Amino acid sequence: MDFSLSDEQQAYVDSARAFARAEMAPFAARWDAESHFPVQTLAKAGELGFMGLYTPEAAGGLGMSRLDASLIVEELARGCTTTAAFLTIHNMATSMIGTYGSPALIEQFCPDLVAGARLASYCLTEPGAGSDAASLRSTATLDGDYYLVNGSKVFISGAGETAVLVAMLRTGGPGAKGISAFVIPADSEGITYGKKEEKMGWNAQPTRAVNFDNVRVPIANRLGAEGQGFAIAMAGLDGGRINIATCSIGTAQQALVEATQYVQQRQQFDQAISEFQATQFRLADLQTELVAARQMVRLAAYKLDSKDAQATTYCAMAKRFATDAGFHICNEALQLFGGYGYIREYPMERFVRDTRVHQILEGTNEVMRLIIARRMLVDGALEVIK
């Protein structure tokens, strides 16, 4: 197996790294402190194709593999975790429209979304339907040529400042088979937004509840067939788990780079703290964990690209391992900075705050363990999960 990057893949990395260093890293602390949503920066990302990474080429996107997209996201996360994370959410929503939408729907929405001229939010989670997404209650009831949408979504990234909502709604009976997917203009009559949530991290993107009160949505705005919504959502979550794991890796990489530089400069007891064996051992362990997490994520991305029957399990394993490892690496990097790691003059505390939620998003890591364990307990599964 060849683990090296091709020339084309290295070009993707170089382009994303240059963008992150010039357009994201210098401003990330201010965006966090001011809770500023950098829509202009996201539009600049769209100029490079980063807002339609794996949206099909027929819909105007780059049509990238999930592996290639993860290389770009990792570098962007080194510049600003929160902005890179929102970019992946936008990519997921845009890809759903480009993959499952009618030609007219694609023409209506995708050009601006791929260009970053308009932004999209993904609406799945509800007050009573978090990990158990199949129990969602928001409804879309057929009424002539329209659906009437009612209900609420919570923890929606970008809500209130995005132009398009991709929402999973109940059109049929209980359970997964009664769910359908829709594209809804965010300024539709009957949509209201909750207060901007005050969060531990991810402050550079707004998070709000979305409320629907008899919102009229044309039948043509449905993605796929009635009842296909849950399958669309789950397919999106496999990729979403790779995305959020990749954001953890990119942030952890930057934290480790900065910590390694710092310990070589910081003097205590008449020597750099990098000279202490305890520091060296800690750095070695963190580097090993980071490389292991990165390779697991890239393996999961490869499995998803290959449509491997075990792809969902690999995505769950990668998400669980990489988000835990990413948070741990950032936390340990903060420790290497000592007291300076705890103040906002340095980015360590922001790295810790921003990566903590990754262990919850896209399915909690406890749910990831359930997915993995249930697959292991299927007869013969251990012979293919290896």
pLDDT of residue 380: 66
pLDDT of residue 240: 95
Domain span at residue 186 reads: 121-226
What per-residue confidence (pLDDT) applies to 135? 84
Pair 112, 174 in one domain: no
Query: Do 101 and 136 belong together in one domain?
Result: no
Q: Are residues 170 and 186 in the same domain?
A: yes
Q: Final residue of a domain: which of 205, 226, 247? A: 226
Closest C-alpha among 80, 340, 349 to residue 200: 349
* Residues 112 and 127 reside in one and the same domain: no
**Cβ atoms of residues 114 and 60 within 8 Å:** yes
Q: What one-letter code names the amino acid at 267?
A: Q
320 token code pair? 């669980």
- pLDDT recorded at residue 3: 84
Could you say which residues of the chain have pLDDT below 50?
none
Cα–Cα distance between 113 and 54 in angstroms, integer? 12
Residues 129, 53 share a domain: no
What pLDDT was estimated at residue 63?
96
> Pick from 208, 226, 244: which residue ends a domain?
226
Catalytic positions are 362
Give the CATH number of the domain where residue 311 resides.
1.20.140.10
* pLDDT at residue 379, as a whole number: 64
The pLDDT value given to residue 176: 86
Residue finishing a domain among 195, 226, 257: 226
Tokens of 40: 């202009």
Distance of CA 5 to the CA centre of its chain: 23
If asked whether residues 163 and 184 sit together in one domain, one would say yes
- Overall domain count for the chain: 3
Q: Are residues 110 and 28 in the same domain?
A: yes
What's the sign of the alpha-carbon dihedral 316, 359, 157, 11? negative
The pTM of the full predicted model, rounded to 2 decimals, is 0.94
Q: What is the pLDDT of residue 274?
A: 86
Question: Looking at residue 131, what is its pLDDT?
Answer: 76
Instruction: Please list, in sequence order, all residues whose beta carbon lies within 8 angstroms of the beta carbon of residue 203, skipping any fewer than 6 positions away.
Output: 31, 32, 33, 35, 82
Residues contacting 213, CB < 8 A, separation 6+: 150, 190, 191, 192
In terms of Cα–Cα distance, which of 300, 303, 312, 364 is closest to 133?
364
SS3 215: strand
Record the tokens describing residue 337, joined without a space.
Answer: 């900075």
